[in-house]
Amino acid sequence: MRVSALDLAATGAIAVVVLVVVFLLGGRRGRASLRQRLSALAARLGASTADPDPRTVEEALTRVERATDRAAEAVAESSADAIRLRRALDALPQAVIVCDERGEPAFRNTRAIALMGNRHGDALAAQAVDELLANTAPGSSEERTLELYGPPRRTLNVRTQSLDNGQRALGVIAVIEDVSERRRLEEVRRDFVANVSHELKTPMGALGLLAETLLAETEPEVSQRLAQRIHTEAFRISRIIDDLLDLSRIESEESPPREPVLVNLVMAEAAERVRAAAEQRSVEVVLDEPSPPVAVLGDRRQLTSAIYNLLENAVKFSYEGGTVECRGEATADEVTISVRDKGIGIPARDLERIFERFYRVDHGRSRSTGGTGLGLAIVRHVAQNHHGTVHVDSREGEGASFSLRLPLQPRVEG
């Protein structure tokens, strides 16, 4: 539209010049002919047909000038609309490709240009999109899901729709959306529901069986053992629910309240909370706080929960009579809280998955120690909420070392 309007305006200008020359060279008949031709030119430029016919050459020229001004305004408006539309399409999170009626790409937004790169996965996506565009018949639409195995693995949803003006085909538009994160979250949700159901079903089943047995038991000693087992299973269910509530709260607080929290105080509080469990297993907890004391900006309850979960895991998977070290070391801009044990360690195959919800390295041992499988997931989310990181270094049979790194509270110069 923009090109045709420009061509029309340029043609009109040239025609006016030619007609003026004719006017200068011709007589009365030439002026009448010039007036008629100027009127025809004004009509071609979009002059209103309701305007009276010009009686003089000057009136005809005025009419041409007004029509030319309106054509120039239409060209400017069309250009602004095209720029606005292009910017809006570039702002979309989806890739957009528009092809003309011959199937040739007429427009790609920024996302589409990035998608049609030179990498192998993108080349496969580009080929699939081209095929879908070519196979979209007039008046129809198509949809396809592409699985790109990467790395990284991605899932693309491609939808095409033919374009027309009611009389003839104008081309095809393709919208490509990366649904990888949505798919991942759906899988996490399904796994989470399945895991929660399994984790709660096991102790609930045990409670029902133990209660049924207790009803029929007449021996006091056996009844006492059964009651103790019921208490243990009930406590386990309570721990799972508490950890689920903790994890839910921490995940919902992506930006927790920011206040100065003394790292030394948080470490001491977490160590005190795990002291009773450590004494039951004759495990010594050695605390080495940073000196001088340092502070971070964050939520005290979340930070205490993270360090407590690291200490609790270390105590559970240490050998009886072992030692767990909790050490804080500060640099110029961050503090590292390390929790080390010399217990059973973690196999290399499990290191990448131990921060997943309900993932257990040793299912039997985790259940016997009362683990819920949520502690390290809580630690990971606390680290993310505080713009920090958590790392693990372990070898099977040689213990494990977890490092929680957090940015220090900025110092105020004064």
pLDDT digits (tens, 9 = 90+) for 115-138: 765 454 467 777 778 788 888 888
Determine the Cα–Cα distance for residues 121 and 398; give it in Å rounded to an integer: 41
Please report how many Cα atoms fall inside a 13 Å half-sphere around the Cα of residue 208, on the Cβ side: 5
pLDDT digits (tens, 9 = 90+) for 65-96: 777 777 776 666 667 777 887 888 888 888 88
Beta strands 259-262; 154-164: pairing state: unpaired
| Statement: residue 370 has pLDDT above 60 | no
Average pLDDT over residues 29-41: 64
Determine the Cα–Cα distance for residues 408 and 33; give it in Å rounded to an integer: 87
User: Would you say 264 and 289 are in contact if contact means Cβ atoms under 8 Å apart?
Assistant: yes
Q: What is the CATH number of domain 93-178?
A: 3.30.450.20
Q: Which residue shows structure tokens 């011959």?
A: 102
Q: Do the domains at 93-178 and 184-252 have one common CATH topology?
A: no
- Write down the architecture of domain 255-414 according to CATH: 2-Layer Sandwich (3.30)
**What is the DSSP track for 265-285?**
HHHHHHHHHHHHHHHHTT-EE
Q: What is the mean pLDDT of the chain?
A: 78
- Domain spans of the chain, in order of start: 2-87, 93-178, 184-252, 255-414
- Write down the pLDDT at residue 52: 61
- Write down the pLDDT at residue 12: 53
**What is the DSSP track for 236-250?**
HHHHHHHHHHHHHHH
The model's confidence at residue 338, banded by pLDDT at 50, 70 and 90, is very high
Average pLDDT over residues 239-258: 73
pTM of the model: 0.54
Query: In the β-sheet with 334-341, what is the strand arrangement from edge to edge?
Result: 284-288, 323-330, 334-341, 400-407, 389-394
CA proximity to 355, closest of 380, 336, 387: 380
Cβ-based burial of 332 (10 A; exposed 0-12, middle 13-18, buried ≥19)? exposed
Please report how many Cα atoms fall inside a 13 Å half-sphere around the Cα of residue 42, on the Cβ side: 25
Determine the Cα–Cα distance for residues 165 and 202; give it in Å rounded to an integer: 63
Q: What is the CATH number of domain 184-252?
A: 1.10.287.130
